[in-house]
Amino acid sequence: MSKRYYIETMGCQMNEYDSDHLSRILEDSGYLRASAPEQADFVLLNTCSVRAKAEQKALSRLGRLASLKRKNSRLLLAVAGCVAQQRGVELLERFPGLDLVLGPREIGSFRGILGKAEKGGMRVAAVDVHGTPGSFLGGFEYFQHRVKAYITIMEGCNNFCSYCIVPYVRGRETSRLPQELLDEARSLALQGVKEITLLGQNVNSYVNEKMRFPGLLQAMNEIKELHRIRFTTSHPKDLSPELIQCFAHLEKLCSHIHLPFQAGSNRVLKAMKRGYTREKYMDLIGELRNARPGIAVTSDVMVGFPGETDEDFEMTLDLIRRVEFDNLFSFKYSDREGTPAAKMEDKIPEPQKLARLDRLQELQRKITLKKNRELIGKNLEILVEGRSKKGQSLAGRTANNKVVNFINDKRYINQLINVTIKRASFNSLWGELTSLRC
Ligand code: 5AD
Ligand code: SF4
């Protein structure tokens, strides 16, 4: 009987991309996908540690998966991703049922480590931060039969924002070769992928002797079979005029940018080591909106950074009112061990952080609703991805990255169609079919 594997992915899209590579290696090694961990011979949890809550969630899930070992002693249990990198061998001590700890830059050695683990008796913590990440392995044929795909173009981060653990767990910035990325994108497009999202902790820092990020976007735009290009995440300090101009000239580049601002007070931005001011950030948004009128802007923001005063927080609310983001991902600051912010004084008490977060989210809710309502009556193209969350209708995304639900007719799955927006709520839009494109 064939061996079976089960992978559970937490965290960001880069982890999803890594999980795809791990799946491919497992399938090459003779494993078939299982639909539940109880039915698998190899279980892997791909984790995120960007915030304390994500790490706690990963550890508690790992504890539950480790208990499967009591029923099936032959099961191999692995943990990958940022918690694996950060905690390393400590996880083997804490979870006796765990066989393998695999950092994000050890995916390149996974095939060999798997072979050894299968022979039995060996518990391994592979956490070399200078190793080979999954994205450098190639082998993208795996992603066929999808309409949307990710391509990780660079790994790691050199910015060391004072609150962030990413540079410690994902290592320094390393960019992949442009030719390899273009081949990967072309091959995906020929297999039917219509939309590609280019991924990296900081895609604007993509660099190669042949091209920088705007050049790469330009070359991607020329792939005939490809319809849509997105990218994430960008850092405001590296958003060059050339990149902004891409929004004016590249028709396949979707009208959406995710540009984390983190805080609206210059004092806090400085303590965070972000490298820009609130004024500079707002100028960038103005330039983006000039280059591509109607572009959707989303962002990440934190409340309760050490020392954040009421005035600082008011500056954050003020920036939100001025920019009017389409959507915001908002978080309470949490200490990450080993970062400079974790050692700062003047920590904000939890109830105060929560009260600030509530106020901020209430404000953003109104803005998002207003922005969504402005789309009523508009005719928009959507890429239909499948059933909606509740399953009664189909759902797709506009170029602006807004979710649109419409009638349930499976003929439209994986198609680019045009819909007229009829209703809008905070979470989604409701559309009616206007035309089918291809
Ligand atoms: N506490 C809270 N939020 C954090 N983020 C990163 N580090 C922390 C932290 N220590 C948030 C930032 C980032 C997003 C991915 O997670 O807003 O953009
Ligand atoms: Fe973390 Fe800053 Fe790098 Fe983003 S840019 S991954 S917030 S260190």
Mutate to test the pocket of ligand 1, among 258, 272, 327, 331 (most ligand atoms within 8 A of CB): 331
How remote is the CA of residue 144 from the centroid of ligand 2, in Å?
A: 31
The closest alpha carbon to 28, from 9, 1, 3, belongs to 3
Range 285-311 average pLDDT: 98
Cα atoms found within 13 Å of the Cα of residue 131, Cβ hemisphere only: 18
Measured CA to CA, the distance from residue 123 to residue 107 in angstroms comes to: 16
Measured from the CB, is residue 161 less than 6 Å from ligand 1?
Answer: no
Which positions ≥6 away from 119 have C-beta within 8 Å?
none
Q: Which pLDDT score, from 0 to 100, does residue 71 have?
A: 86
The better pLDDT of the pair 35, 144 is held by 35
Collapsing DSSP to helix, strand or coil, 358 comes out as helix
Measured from the CB, is residue 274 less than 6 Å from ligand 1?
Answer: no
Q: Which ligand 2 atom is at minimum distance from the Cα of 167? A: 8
What are the pLDDT digits (tens) for 246-276?
999 999 999 999 999 999 999 999 999 999 9
Instruction: Check if the beta carbon of residue 17 is closer than 8 Å to that of residue 135.
Output: yes
Measured CA to CA, the distance from residue 319 to residue 264 in angstroms comes to: 6
Instruction: Retrieve residue 70's tokens.
Output: 């009591």
Residue 231 in this model has a pLDDT that exceeds 70 = yes
Mutate to test the pocket of ligand 2, among 164, 238, 262 (most ligand atoms within 8 A of CB): 164
Q: Which ligand 2 atom is at minimum distance from the Cα of 158? A: 3
Q: Which pLDDT score, from 0 to 100, does residue 140 have?
A: 58
Mutate to test the pocket of ligand 1, among 51, 170, 329, 353 (most ligand atoms within 8 A of CB): 51
Q: Which pLDDT score, from 0 to 100, does residue 409 have?
A: 79
Measured from the CB, is residue 214 less than 6 Å from ligand 2?
Answer: no
Q: Which ligand 2 atom is at minimum distance from the Cα of 160? A: 8
Range 75-100 average pLDDT: 95
Measured from the CB, is residue 157 less than 6 Å from ligand 2?
Answer: yes
Which positions ≥6 away from 126 have C-beta within 8 Å?
100, 101, 102, 103, 106, 109, 113
pLDDT grade, residue 143 (50/70/90)? low
Measured from the CB, is residue 154 less than 6 Å from ligand 2?
Answer: no
What are the pLDDT digits (tens) for 375-431?
999 999 999 988 877 778 899 999 999 999 998 778 888 999 999 999 999 988 999
